[in-house]
Chains A and B, each alone.
Chain A
């Protein structure tokens, strides 16, 4: 496997590849801004096939060869799909005697108040493969009951007899003393050389047994799958003459090498949506926008995140699966918990495929159920009978039935109108367009909850933010959402419909490390923390250097998870570069208090001390030069714009004859209403707003 920062012969293209459940998006970007894109159906049985196929098609169309690819950056849902579809490895979990069911008991919480139908997600490791070993480590790390290696061998052998393909180890209090876990790892490697395995201390050396167990189990569960996938991809690329480095997007927005991803796949589970946020972050920096909300809407979900002062916002944990909900920041008990840093995304089940209906109380409901890719919206003509948001958008004239994916997918507008009329408009006594408009706005209100969750609910006044709208449906809703939220500027980036893969091209190589140090800080008694912090830094530097980054292109950042003593929820704050001492401790404490006040509206009295919980290090490998070219130009052959059409903008404005443009036509500032039809997305500019193209190819909509 290759390295990340090594000098290589001059090549032309950086390539981003993002795999989703339905589509694989490929973007080629040359240093001069030349942009080639391709959207193809994913090959679900072997995702690597579609990638290689797509690359080959682009090569042929543009006369390129494998050597023209400088680096391949990749976002993939292979990990999350394995979890969601329960297609991970048969996994064993070794735990402490008396604590066999931590993984299954979880945190006891339910995600709904009165729902008795909801079921807990099946544990990724069944009870008969969760086997305890007799050992006990106390809260201060003292070994109270030593590990019995003979018993460990028996347990490992029993698992092997069951045919496990991977083993996770998570013992109580191992975050403070990993000796027993390390000893078990040695036994596993002796009994079953080459068997994928991981211990919790290596995955997440932090306090809280359920979070640590769940994260370790997920890592073990997807380990063989991700490893196999990356090896297949690598060999397929090699076979196609593409020898470029392969870098994987992590959930946290940074890149790692394919070798590292194969070792710690838990870091790339939310790889998919991260690319768009990182891309928006890079573009925002170029445009001089300090505060942005990213809004990524596809077929089934909409996701929001914020970038402030150039920093993406990161969550310390999140759940995979188990339904999509805004309240997910409130320990809900849904899904599979992963405590790894991830870009903090709020997600709602609102996409083009969301089903629209009228409930018993006479209210319009949108989602969370979705028609998905099959049968899909009614207008796809594949048997879907329930009207969806896409059908509403067809009725409203926002979507051109002849031009989705440049006409590759023809839609039946009459069917959309009939379904909306029958199922939504008739029960409410509204016209079909009014009903469709109502559904459009309600879908928007669901999506606003996602945006508010990452902004207003964290004490950020969203009115000062700009909205980056992308994904297949993002640019269609962006202006309306921004107007509702009091935002003034919407940015629709180039290739908005495949911006998740485009964004990959802007990411840096990045590694995160953490350790638990639970302690009230004072200027003395921090020597061991400084030592531990230094150790993490040395580790980070070594890893980046091994990947080919010279020292001057390595950037180290320190963070601390802190809370007021007695609290259980921490805020992560940046820590001073210098070691902790009489000067830096108060600085760190003040940083925490400020962030606390900003989030919760008050500080605690000085009598309540501030406690450190975890120390963290982020090691960044910086590129030689800026990754964003001065300007971008899509080399796709221009297709003539269709004639103006009637578009509905609500009961007050009614139907309006609306010009349909190609992006390039916006070089001059133009007033709405207008619709910009791109290859991969449709952008609606409502009446009263203006739109223009900036030097980077973004559409700027001003409200």
Chain B
């Protein structure tokens, strides 16, 4: 095989066959790692929620492939790996395995433990296998280690700076002893770490085969080339977008500590030539509660939104993010500094992606989407059985998408920044002292639009043991999901204890509290925002929602101006009253007057006028 230099842009065309073969093979390794973690892990959050990611990197720690896992993690893996490499420069050997979780050294939040295994062939380092998994508990003040209301990192669990889990094949028993002593369910957590190690083992085995097939130098060359290729196709795609600068803001309800004090997210997208900048300057200073995002996680938020509006066949390699620069000033909600808490930062990251879609929608009026349900809701229930054995149930759930510029938002599908799976209700009941009373859509809560937002679902959990700590992180209770181009916001989220009983108690979005046997906790997601004028919505889509009891007849009229003929005894035979609809829509159009529809509609709380912005900006200076 010829050995052109990696800088040569024509290499893929000179030997397109071998390159394509290789690209497929490396992608398969990352996917196979994901299969391994999924199948061999122990805790619900990893095996059922699938809150983990896998990737494969070249000898310099540059990602060449990501498994079919979570979008948001791709930004973080390179930062974490670079941190480990810097820390152990000159001390990376065959048989080493590294771990870390410290947000202040490239991590995201303490539950996310990274495991990196360098792969050597004949003494030469050629690659890294990378996995990151959300561990069900890493100690700290609440079970599940994900409380939104912690105020400094030291409350959140055990910090692992870059360390060696294995040193030239020898297990770091000291670390494991300390670690096991500091987490609530050590056998399960270590089981999940083992699943990560298995994935690295599988990757190494397959990579060695690749090297046998292609030879070490060709493999090294192609790994560089994948990123050059990914960067080239990304630049070509960005080049086709209009140049300019667009800003967007959104607000988070609060941080769970300073109750009802809203937190601003502000983003500016700048596009020039074949490069883009996503700038979070103008976002709130970092907060006391644990929802501060790290820079690495913020990068993932920005990249996810931009990648979503670019062509889909760009490889999931680091090169694709090179033309997209992310700015997040230190000490802000988008880039936490010591000793800020960040365990519950996922929500902020999801919301940063949504806000970035708001900016991109101004650049591309027919691409992208509106706001989704507000970042995944975290429910952790932890306590002890009568025999004093601990249990921890951790779930992250999100499901109502914002409407897309060309179609409705999804009902019941993981947010674009995550790709969590849902737990099987029956398995949860078999494994935890929890009974599910409901898991289904709630009608009349999605944001209207030409394309409507996704319908939210509710979950009712009944607790069956003596007592436990319930820790929740939810948002969009005060600031619902915005609508764009005339689309309307969705309805807010809700949390309530013991609904429909004498003991009914409304709950805030973020809290940790005791619960007792037979308490029922209900969480309901926010509805997704709508896109476009609801009066332009295809009446047949409205009919379908009414027939399916996702939309009431009253709202079909008042929000969409659609009159449904419900004379037929059979629901399936209901139809759109064309004349009535036409007349009602005309009346509604007249009533709202001429003039363009607003670009964004928000339904901010009545007592909020946005003036805090200046105070925030002053504080930031």
Contact in complex: B549, A128 (CB < 8 Å): yes
Asked if B466 is at the interface of the complex by the 8 Å CB criterion, the answer is no
Number of A residues with CB within 8 Å of any CB on chain B:
84
Provided the pairs A362-B13, A456-B206, A518-B430 are in contact, do residues A116 and B416 lie with their beta carbons within 8 angstroms?
Answer: yes
Contact in complex: A139, B435 (CB < 8 Å): yes
Contact in complex: B550, A600 (CB < 8 Å): no
Residues of A within 8 A of B404 (CB): 116-117
Asked if A330 is at the interface of the complex by the 8 Å CB criterion, the answer is yes
Provided the pairs A101-B457, A330-B34, A363-B20 are in contact, do residues A452 and B424 lie with their beta carbons within 8 angstroms?
Answer: no
Asked if A602 is at the interface of the complex by the 8 Å CB criterion, the answer is yes
Contact in complex: B32, A457 (CB < 8 Å): yes
Contact in complex: A101, B426 (CB < 8 Å): no
Q: Identify B237's interface contact among A109, A162, A360, A429, CB under 8 A.
A: A360
CB distance from A428 to the nearest CB of B (A): 5
Q: Identify B438's interface contact among A98, A207, A331, A568, CB under 8 A.
A: A98
CB distance from A43 to the nearest CB of B (A): 31
Contact in complex: A600, B412 (CB < 8 Å): no
Q: Identify B236's interface contact among A110, A139, A361, A448, CB under 8 A.
A: A361
Complex alpha-carbon distance, A113 and B69, angstroms: 7
Complex alpha-carbon distance, A111 and B414, angstroms: 11
Contact in complex: A210, B424 (CB < 8 Å): yes
Asked if A359 is at the interface of the complex by the 8 Å CB criterion, the answer is yes
Residues of B within 8 A of A442 (CB): 16-17, 20-21
Q: Residue of B at shortest CB range from A329?
A: B35
Which among A139, A326, A449, A608 has the highest number of chain B CB atoms within 10 Å?
A139
CB distance from A375 to the nearest CB of B (A): 23
Contact in complex: A566, B191 (CB < 8 Å): yes
The 4 closest A-B pairs by CB, nearest first: A98-B438, A127-B548, A105-B412, A361-B233
Complex alpha-carbon distance, A253 and B441, angstroms: 39
State which residues 338-394 of A face B: CB under 8 Å. Answer: 359-365
Contact in complex: B439, A105 (CB < 8 Å): yes
Contact in complex: B202, A115 (CB < 8 Å): no
Contact in complex: A564, B547 (CB < 8 Å): no
**What sequence of 0s and 1s flags, for each residue 456-470 of chain A, a beta carbon within 8 Å of any chain B beta carbon?**
110000000000000
Residues of B within 8 A of A428 (CB): 13, 16
Asked if B294 is at the interface of the complex by the 8 Å CB criterion, the answer is no
CB distance from A158 to the nearest CB of B (A): 8
Residues of A within 8 A of B17 (CB): 364, 437-438, 441-442, 445
**What sequence of 0s and 1s flags, for each residue 19-44 of chain B, a beta carbon within 8 Å of any chain A beta carbon?**
11100110010011011101111111
Complex alpha-carbon distance, A161 and B569, angstroms: 8
Residues of B within 8 A of A116 (CB): 308-309, 368-369, 404, 416
Residues of B within 8 A of A128 (CB): 547-549, 571-572
Residues of B within 8 A of A109 (CB): 50, 414, 419-421
Contact in complex: A364, B426 (CB < 8 Å): no
Asked if A104 is at the interface of the complex by the 8 Å CB criterion, the answer is yes
Contact in complex: A602, B412 (CB < 8 Å): no
Q: Residue of B at shortest CB range from A119?
A: B407
Contact in complex: B21, A114 (CB < 8 Å): no
Asked if B141 is at the interface of the complex by the 8 Å CB criterion, the answer is no
Complex alpha-carbon distance, A330 and B66, angstroms: 14
Complex alpha-carbon distance, A382 and B467, angstroms: 71
CB distance from B618 to the nearest CB of A (A): 37
Provided the pairs A98-B440, A445-B20 are in contact, do residues A209 and B42 lie with their beta carbons within 8 angstroms?
Answer: no
Provided the pairs A120-B410, A361-B229, A566-B191 are in contact, do residues A113 and B419 lie with their beta carbons within 8 angstroms?
Answer: yes
Contact in complex: A566, B188 (CB < 8 Å): yes
Contact in complex: A207, B313 (CB < 8 Å): no
Contact in complex: B209, A101 (CB < 8 Å): no
Complex alpha-carbon distance, A106 and B544, angstroms: 20
Asked if B437 is at the interface of the complex by the 8 Å CB criterion, the answer is yes
Contact in complex: A327, B198 (CB < 8 Å): no
Q: Identify B31's interface contact among A330, A333, A607, CB under 8 A.
A: A330
Asked if B316 is at the interface of the complex by the 8 Å CB criterion, the answer is yes
Contact in complex: B549, A600 (CB < 8 Å): no
**What sequence of 0s and 1s flags, for each residue 595-629 of chain A, a beta carbon within 8 Å of any chain B beta carbon?**
00000111010011000000000000000000000
Which among B39, B397, B438 has the highest number of chain A CB atoms within 10 Å?
B39
Residues of B within 8 A of A98 (CB): 436-440, 460
Complex alpha-carbon distance, A317 and B71, angstroms: 26
| Contact sample, A vs B, 7 pairs, CB 8 Å cutoff | A113-B307, A208-B424, A329-B35, A362-B12, A362-B13, A363-B229, A518-B430
Q: Residue of B at shortest CB range from A596?
A: B40
Complex alpha-carbon distance, A175 and B430, angstroms: 12
CB distance from A695 to the nearest CB of B (A): 35
Residues of B within 8 A of A229 (CB): none
**What sequence of 0s and 1s flags, for each residue 227-248 of chain B, a beta carbon within 8 Å of any chain A beta carbon?**
0011011001100000000000
CB distance from B81 to the nearest CB of A (A): 19
**What sequence of 0s and 1s flags, for each residue 127-145 of chain A, a beta carbon within 8 Å of any chain B beta carbon?**
1110000001011000000
Residues of B within 8 A of A120 (CB): 410, 412-413
Asked if A531 is at the interface of the complex by the 8 Å CB criterion, the answer is no
Provided the pairs A127-B550, A363-B12, A569-B47 are in contact, do residues A99 and B425 lie with their beta carbons within 8 angstroms?
Answer: yes
Residues of B within 8 A of A209 (CB): 424-426
Q: Identify A438's interface contact among B16, B230, B369, B421, CB under 8 A.
A: B16
Asked if B311 is at the interface of the complex by the 8 Å CB criterion, the answer is yes
Complex alpha-carbon distance, A117 and B39, angstroms: 29
Complex alpha-carbon distance, A85 and B354, angstroms: 35
State which residues 569-600 of A face B: CB under 8 Å. Answer: 569, 600
Q: Identify B39's interface contact among A112, A173, A567, CB under 8 A.
A: A567
Contact in complex: B414, A110 (CB < 8 Å): yes
Residues of B within 8 A of A102 (CB): 439-440
Q: Identify B412's interface contact among A101, A136, A172, A567, CB under 8 A.
A: A101
Contact in complex: B229, A600 (CB < 8 Å): no
Which among A100, A127, A441, A608 has the highest number of chain B CB atoms within 10 Å?
A127
Contact in complex: B312, A114 (CB < 8 Å): yes
Residues of A within 8 A of B548 (CB): 126-128
Complex alpha-carbon distance, A109 and B420, angstroms: 6
Contact in complex: A114, B399 (CB < 8 Å): no
Complex alpha-carbon distance, A213 and B60, angstroms: 47
Residues of A within 8 A of B440 (CB): 98-102, 105
Complex alpha-carbon distance, A110 and B19, angstroms: 28
Q: Identify A601's interface contact among B9, B42, B201, CB under 8 A.
A: B201
List 11 other contacts, CB 8 Å, given A207-B427, A438-B17: A116-B404, A127-B550, A128-B547, A139-B426, A162-B570, A210-B424, A327-B31, A363-B13, A429-B13, A456-B206, A457-B32
Complex alpha-carbon distance, A430 and B550, angstroms: 56
Q: Residue of A at shortest CB range from B433?
A: A139
CB distance from B276 to the nearest CB of A (A): 15
**What sequence of 0s and 1s flags, for each residue 453-487 of chain B, a beta carbon within 8 Å of any chain A beta carbon?**
00001001000000000000000000000000000
Complex alpha-carbon distance, A602 and B39, angstroms: 13
Complex alpha-carbon distance, A651 and B67, angstroms: 34
Residues of A within 8 A of B10 (CB): 362
**What sequence of 0s and 1s flags, for each residue 415-458 of chain A, a beta carbon within 8 Å of any chain B beta carbon?**
00000000000001110000001100110011011001100110
Asked if A232 is at the interface of the complex by the 8 Å CB criterion, the answer is no
Asked if A332 is at the interface of the complex by the 8 Å CB criterion, the answer is yes
Asked if A108 is at the interface of the complex by the 8 Å CB criterion, the answer is yes
Contact in complex: A208, B549 (CB < 8 Å): no
Residues of A within 8 A of B575 (CB): none
Residues of A within 8 A of B237 (CB): 360
Asked if B366 is at the interface of the complex by the 8 Å CB criterion, the answer is no
Asked if A644 is at the interface of the complex by the 8 Å CB criterion, the answer is no
Q: Residue of B at shortest CB range from A144?
A: B435
Asked if A107 is at the interface of the complex by the 8 Å CB criterion, the answer is yes
Which among B31, B66, B71, B369 has the highest number of chain A CB atoms within 10 Å?
B31
Asked if B536 is at the interface of the complex by the 8 Å CB criterion, the answer is no
Contact in complex: B202, A108 (CB < 8 Å): no
Contact in complex: B312, A112 (CB < 8 Å): yes
Contact in complex: A359, B420 (CB < 8 Å): no
Complex alpha-carbon distance, A162 and B308, angstroms: 40
Residues of A within 8 A of B441 (CB): 100-101, 104-105, 127
Contact in complex: A99, B438 (CB < 8 Å): yes
